[in-house]
Amino acid sequence: MKKKLVMIGNGMAGVRAIEEILKANPDMFEITIFGAEKYPNYNRIMLSPVLAGDTTVEDIILNEEQWYADNNITLHMGKRIKEIQRGYKKVIAEDGTEAEYDNLIIATGSNPFIIPIPGYEKEGVMGFRDIDDCDAMFEAAKKYNKAAVIGGGLLGLEAAKGLMHLGMEATVIHDQATLMNMQLDSVAGEMLRADLEGQGMKFKVSTLTTEITGEERVEGLKFKDGSSLDCDLLVMAAGIRPNMGLASESGIYCNRGIVVNDYMQTVTDPSIYSVGECAEHRGIAYGLVAPLFEQAKILAYQITGQGLKSYAGSEVSTKLKISGVDVFSAGDFMGGPGADIIELMDKVGGVYKKIVLEDDRIKGVVMFGDTGDGPTFFQWMQDGKDVSELRSTLLFSASGLGDSGHSGIDQATAMADDTIVCGCNGVSKKDVVDAIVKEGLTTRKEVTACTKAAGSCGGCAGLIDQILVSTLGTAFVESEHEPICGCTELNHEQVKEQIRNKKLTMVREVMSVLDWKEEGCQVCRPALNYYIGMIWPEDSEDDRTSRIANEKMHANIQKDGTYSVIPRVYGGDTDADTLIRMGQVAKKYDVKTIKITGGQRIGLYGIKKDDLASVWRDLDMPCGYAYGKALRTVKTCVGSEWCRFGTQDSTSLGIHLEKQLDRIWFPAKVKLAVSGCPRNCAEATIKDFGIIGVDGGWEIQTGGNGGVHVEATELLCLVETADEVEQIAKAYLQHYRETGRHNERCAPWQRRVGLESIKALVVDDLESRKTLAERLDIYLAGQARDPWLERIADDAAMPEQKVFNEYRTIEIKEIH
């Protein structure tokens, strides 16, 4: 019979303990969790990006409600425990809900410290600790303009930055002379202040607040030096206090926090454990994620009876990004009189590094601006490494390789395998590299999902990028770091992430919110228009001003300024009536050339711009998209219907697929082919998505290219039915739409992402395949209502030369 395990608190440390317990023995406990908040477990460290608008509440959820259900955990959200009845081994919530336990974990975290300054109870005075606090700040920013933040630590600075993003003027009040004085020395603190002031943040340092003024709502602050400050909102970010009230009322011994032994058991009751910011171990209540996750592992080890592994405390480092600036510190970085200190200062470059040594061993480190070597220094500090031979090059590169400089690739390559790169989650370099190689990972997001590295505070994100670069080479560099164009510093992935997180649905909105340097160019505007339509298919409209002339006209402009019109001929298969109608249109509009194209279609060349809308109406045929980043053709052979070698009906399948997919915009042009037998007359093995009929089914080949740089396809899979072909085709193409970069063909995309990772999503994982295909169907439903024909006449009103020049500029750019 399973033992009953109850946990009070649904935060990061507690749920990590549950995860570790499930890993150690998934069938040992019947688990019940009570959380005071109305949300499942979320990353509290990422509240600042939520406030700044860089991410959403949904994106910081660590464990969705489905995760609890999948692990048979009873979750009570929004239910605060009011009483622990230790004698009956039972907990009771404020709404009367009860739960019995054999073992209890108290993981109630901490509360923001609200300084009891006269007036602290006024409206508009708040802490910054949870999602509700973010919501309150969002609402305040709609009505008020001036904010003050008491506390110049990480939380205070990030709160101020978030309020600035909401349009408020933000002033940080700090009682010390140095910002982040627990993590930075005076030099680094001053550099940080200068950088933040350059971003518009204001400061009052070495200042004590004596009174909060105003009637019912805060209107201002008074300070000990006699000065004052007007404000409409006051955020207290002056530290946290362990939330131990419930434990204390239950007779559990508390001091600074809930006192626990080396096995995370409360010293009062061995059946009750405590973990996280509420727990005090050997006189210390930790506030950083890394030691709390270490505690979680020890708790799981103990409670599942794995042995007597104990917790001896944590040596911590801090690697953070504050409002775009990297800082790192560890150990005794101040250094007293006569200390052996090595420093590097580059004020212009915004880099400062300081190492404190004792007997040629690192005792402390503080870094500002360039923190890539931080984890290596921390590892050497923990190992007691003698660095005397590296002294002259130590601050230029932790590898000590001199001419190698301190490039990210060299640092990651030189880093020892056992170096911890993510202190929050205890992930080593070897863990990351193994995941990249074995799982075919190519992005930081995938690494985080697989290993949890960079999933908590995010301070090691840059280092994860470096390891990806050193492991994958240029494949990662291209996908992660190259800006879209000179109008922005953001790369394709960053832009897509911002469009999604901030729900940006117009091109001009993207450029405004993301601080575009210019009004956009022929490279970025079409890319933004594509990304918006791909991400928000139901909530956005096509921006005609961001399309090239060909896509506006639904025709290809030729060298004489006339156009070619190429309607869709599904699978190259047509009938006599259609041919007659096309001939009649050609006569009516005096078409100069009628050409059978390489894509098994019929092109009409030499059509005047003013006639385009009329030509399309008279043809009464679907548009062939022969000009755009869209599905061009689905080439077919006659297959088993006519061919004596045919093993499958390639024509019917090709026509069906083309009708399913013919209204889709892609990152670049896409071509399909279906051959009825391995003789491959439709040339499926040089197409983006190729299908070949074989005995008993279909062979699916992907990632080919028949253009300037010919590339053969790779085998994706073998399937038995046409329905499977259709679903896999939709899933593959939607995955390409979502992760491809604008103007990136399938072949380089497949090389970058990796065939195995694609296969895992669109072939092996049936649920993922289905979901991707469904997302494409949602997009297609919207495209079916696209009034493209009605728009041609309006777009044709543009002056001739302007259209021609626009086309030439854009197309020449793409060709090169």
CA-to-CA dists, residue 81 to 75, 93, 240, 428, angstroms: 13, 4, 21, 38
Given a contact cutoff of 8 angstroms between Cβ atoms, the answer to whether 674 and 691 are in contact is: yes
Instruction: Please give the distance of CA 606 from its chain centroid, rounded to a whole number.
Output: 47
Is 637 annotated in some ligand binding site?
yes
Closest among 13, 234, 10, 237 to 112, alpha carbons compared: 237
Q: Which DSSP state fits 55?
A: S
Closest among 631, 626, 630, 623 to 557, alpha carbons compared: 626
Other CB atoms within 10 Å distance of the CB of residue 363: 18
Is 278 annotated in some ligand binding site?
no
Measure the CA–CA gap between 730 and 45, rounded to whole angstroms.
37
Output the DSSP codes for 281-300.
ETTB---SHHHHHHHHHHHH
Output the DSSP codes for 379-419.
HHHHHT---GGGTTTTTT-TT--GGGTT-HHHHHHHS-TT-
Given a contact cutoff of 8 angstroms between Cβ atoms, the answer to whether 733 and 691 are in contact is: no
The amino acid present at 26, given as its one-letter code, is: P
Torsion sign (Cα): 154, 156, 161, 162: positive
Torsion sign (Cα): 376, 382, 385, 387: positive
Closest among 568, 541, 573 to 554, alpha carbons compared: 568
What are the φ and ψ backbone dihedral angles of 596, each rounded to 5 degrees? -80, 120
Closest among 639, 557, 661 to 605, alpha carbons compared: 557
Measure the CA–CA gap between 749 and 788, rounded to whole angstroms.
29
Total residues found in the chain within this entry: 816
CA-to-CA dists, residue 133 to 48, 159, 170, 779, angstroms: 11, 10, 17, 36
Tokens matching residue 185 = 């020395």
Torsion sign (Cα): 13, 19, 22, 25: negative
At 714 the three-state DSSP class reads strand
Other CB atoms within 10 Å distance of the CB of residue 221: 25
Measure the CA–CA gap between 488 and 555, rounded to whole angstroms.
31
Q: In a 10 Å sphere around its CB, with 0-12 CB exposed, 13-18 middle and 19+ buried, how is residue 389 labelled?
A: exposed
Tokens matching residue 583 = 């001939």
Closest among 478, 402, 472, 475 to 437, alpha carbons compared: 472
For 106, residues 6+ apart whose C-beta sits below 8 A from its C-beta are 7, 8, 9, 246, 247, 252, 258, 266, 272, 273, 274, 275, 278, 279
Measure the CA–CA gap between 182 and 334, rounded to whole angstroms.
10
Given a contact cutoff of 8 angstroms between Cβ atoms, the answer to whether 665 and 681 are in contact is: no
- Give helix 131-143 / helix 154-165 axis angle, nearest 10°: 40
Token pair 């708040």 is found at 126
Given a contact cutoff of 8 angstroms between Cβ atoms, the answer to whether 660 and 687 are in contact is: no
End-to-end alpha carbon distance in the chain:
69
Q: Which residues are annotated as a binding site?
A: 637, 643, 677, 681
Q: Which residues are annotated as a binding site for [4Fe-4S] cluster?
A: 637, 643, 677, 681
Q: Which residues are annotated as a binding site for siroheme?
A: 681
